[in-house]
Amino acid sequence: MELTGAQILLESLRREDVEVVFGFPGGAVIDIYDQLPNYPLLQHVLARHEQGAIHAADGYARATGRVGVCLVTSGPGATNAVTGIATAYMDSVPVVIITGQVPTPLIGNDAFQEVDIVGITRPCTKHNFLVKDVRDLPKVIKEAFYLAATGRPGPVLIDLPKDVQQAKCVYNYPKQIKMRSYNPTYAPNPKQVAKVADVVRKAKKPIIYAGGGVIASNASEDLTWLARTFNIPVTATLMALGCFPADDPLWLGMLGMHGTYAANMAISGADLILAVGSRFDDRVTGKLSEFAKNAKIVHIDIDPTSIQKNVAAGIPVVADCKSFLMALRQTLEADVSDASAAPVRDTPWLARLASWKEEKPLAYEQGTDVIKPQYVVEIISRLTKGEAIITTEVGQHQMWAAQFYQFTKPRSFISSGGLGTMGFGFPAAIGAQVAFPDRLVIDVAGDGSIQMCIQELATAVCYGLPVKIVILNNGYLGMVRQWQELFYAKNYCSTCLDVAPDFVKLAEAYGAAGFRVSDPGQVESVLTEAFALPKTVIVDVVVDREENVAPMVPAGKSITEMILV
């Protein structure tokens, strides 16, 4: 049977088991929208801005581990999505973006709403396609989903000209895909695994440094087995929070610029670092020449180009994190007769870490006058027992959420790490809530960031999504103000948000509920009430204006040079 390009696209999305598409229409995709009602199993969520649509698709992907799908029109629709594409790219999130394009004969003619989105997104997609012939479309879609989800995941863009959407051909969807030049390595080299097992047995001061790859490959359980069985303390990047339970004594907290004292000291003093699915980002390493000088570094990553990129790894392992940890487990299990046997290692190392944790914990003092932002996150953590899906915007609130929420499960912390995109958290929360209608999804926001995609309140209300936004409202672009305070002689240039909307009224104007709280004694009751409401809610929490995130490693310094208060 012959189908149009638009029909082929939608039919193929169903065959890929896509359940939801986040999008925004326009002339260059109207043919696709025209067909949408014929595919009732494909839910379309209409965002109010293309940036909202792509972040929502991204949030859906991070919460579920499945490929998120985003559909936007040509020209400004496509460029509005670029920030979200780059966000997904930096954090290795699998999304497929379909952009409309002007008809093929007009490409390159400065046609109305034409933009070279393939050229624009080349550096921030894993791959992109311009489809010129409708007969190529099924194969392109199959390849796009395959590329997005396999190897190091990432965004893949399909640019679809209007005449290709209208052209017809016989539809055959490929069952399997083979791309000769693309063969990600999943299974680790057994010799490398044996080497790692050996150094794990011998190390006196080992540490696991977990990155987003642990979450992406669903390797948390195996990582937890390794840590507990061999008594190896665990630290993680922002992207990996939740991969190891925060209430375990082996948990050191996040490392890096706003990492804990214990984690940064531990990584600096370790003799063995097992870097699992992490990329040695500069926010983690600080001054590279000072980073982990005494350690043997084992680096496991599915992307061979990320190994040896920033830090020299003594034992490089190209593999999927889960496959590697399973193989390591098999090798090491011979060491312990019973996998749940008592830990085999009990060293002064662990005692030292415990004392670091005790001497210099994450701390703040909550008085009776002003609400401390850390306190709000602690209350959220307590009320939700670590079971909520927390998304964040970018800034101080993001770091407080990372530091003070006790994450117990993978895929429960969703935040823009690599790109650091203000405006990400709320639409990402919408995507997560679409995926999990019955879970509590909370966007911890700053008063600056939330204004970047605030229009998505209409989306949340329209689809009855009970997302909660908790604004830690300090009246500043707080994280920039903190840098100005510490490193620019308090020159608070353009960081004071003097004019702000009344967030309670704003919520109500969109049909959501709004609360405001400024008394520390009322934080808990207001949040309890807000979380129980089955609708979209903004809680505007007026917090201490000039509270800082601590510890802090000044940019370019070694991670042991922390400012502690």
Ligand X SMILES: Cc1ncc(C[n+]2csc(CCOP(=O)(O)OP(=O)(O)O)c2C)c(N)n1
Question: Catalytic site residues?
Answer: 50, 112-113, 162, 479
- Cα angle for residues 146, 149, 150 (degrees, 5° grid): 75
Q: Toward ligand X, which CB reaches closer, 254 or 477?
A: 477
- Going by their DSSP bridges, the two strands 95-101 and 68-72 should be labelled as parallel
At closest approach, how far in Å is the CB of 422 from ligand X? 4
HSE-CB for 137 with a 13 A CA cutoff: 30
Q: Pull the structure tokens for residue 207.
A: 């540490």
* Stretch in the footprint of ligand X (CB under 6 A) among 96-104, 279-287, 446-454, 518-526: 446-454
At closest approach, how far in Å is the CB of 543 from ligand X? 9
Q: How far is CA 256 from the centre of its chain?
A: 17
421 binds ligand X (CB under 6 A): yes
CB 400 within 8 A of CB 552: no
Q: Toward ligand X, which CB reaches closer, 86 or 465?
A: 86
Closest residue to bound ligand X by CB: 446
Q: Toward ligand X, which CB reaches closer, 458 or 541?
A: 541
At closest approach, how far in Å is the CB of 401 from ligand X? 10
In 3D space, the residue among 315, 318, 325 whose CA is nearest the CA of residue 301 turns out to be 318
Q: Please report, for residues 61, 111, 275, 297, 338, the alpha-carbon distance to residue 308 in angstroms, rounded to integers and kept in the order given.
A: 28, 45, 12, 10, 36
402 binds ligand X (CB under 6 A): no
Q: How many CB atoms lie within 10 A of CB 245?
A: 16
Give backbone dihedrals phi and psi of 519, rounded to 5 degrees, phi first. Answer: -105, 120
11 binds ligand X (CB under 6 A): no
403 binds ligand X (CB under 6 A): no
Q: Toward ligand X, which CB reaches closer, 417 or 514?
A: 417
At closest approach, how far in Å is the CB of 258 from ligand X? 12
147 binds ligand X (CB under 6 A): no
* Stretch in the footprint of ligand X (CB under 6 A) among 319-327, 332-340, 414-422, 522-530: 414-422
- Those residues whose C-beta lies under 8 Å from the C-beta of residue 226, and which sit 6 or more positions away, are 200, 208, 232, 325, 328, 329, 332
By CB under 6 A, what part of segment 378-397 binds ligand X?
393-397
- Those residues whose C-beta lies under 8 Å from the C-beta of residue 141, and which sit 6 or more positions away, are 8, 9, 12, 13, 16, 96, 158, 173
* Stretch in the footprint of ligand X (CB under 6 A) among 88-96, 468-476, 509-517, 533-541: 468-476
472 binds ligand X (CB under 6 A): yes
CB 84 within 8 A of CB 55: yes
291 binds ligand X (CB under 6 A): no
Q: How many CB atoms lie within 10 A of CB 525?
A: 11
At closest approach, how far in Å is the CB of 503 from ligand X? 12
Give backbone dihedrals phi and psi of 371, rounded to 5 degrees, phi first. Answer: -80, 130
d(CA 240, CA 347): 26
Q: Toward ligand X, which CB reaches closer, 57 or 394?
A: 394
* Stretch in the footprint of ligand X (CB under 6 A) among 148-156, 250-258, 478-486, 551-559: 478-486
Q: What is the DSSP letter of 343?
A: P
- For the chain, the residue count is 565
At closest approach, how far in Å is the CB of 123 from ligand X? 18
Q: Toward ligand X, which CB reaches closer, 395 or 466?
A: 395
Alpha-carbon dihedral sign for residues 324, 328, 330, 336: negative
- Applying CB under 6 A, among 9, 147, 477, 559 the residue interacting with ligand X is 477
Q: Toward ligand X, which CB reaches closer, 94 or 417?
A: 417
What would the x/- binding string for ligand X be over residues 345 to 364, using CB under 6 A?
Answer: --------------------
In 3D space, the residue among 55, 86, 45, 69 whose CA is nearest the CA of residue 450 turns out to be 55
d(CA 249, CA 262): 12
448 binds ligand X (CB under 6 A): yes
At closest approach, how far in Å is the CB of 549 from ligand X? 8
446 binds ligand X (CB under 6 A): yes
Q: Toward ligand X, which CB reaches closer, 222 or 544?
A: 544
503 binds ligand X (CB under 6 A): no
Strand partners, 207: 273
Give the type of residue at 258. H
At closest approach, how far in Å is the CB of 470 from ligand X? 11
d(CA 77, CA 99): 8
Q: Please report, for residues 469, 475, 541, the alpha-carbon distance to residue 23 in angstroms, rounded to integers and kept in the order given.
A: 22, 32, 31
Q: Toward ligand X, which CB reaches closer, 209 or 426?
A: 426
At closest approach, how far in Å is the CB of 314 from ligand X? 35
* Stretch in the footprint of ligand X (CB under 6 A) among 8-16, 124-132, 316-324, 472-480: 472-480
Residue ranges in contact with ligand X by CB under 6 A:
393-397, 420-422, 446-449, 472, 474, 476-480
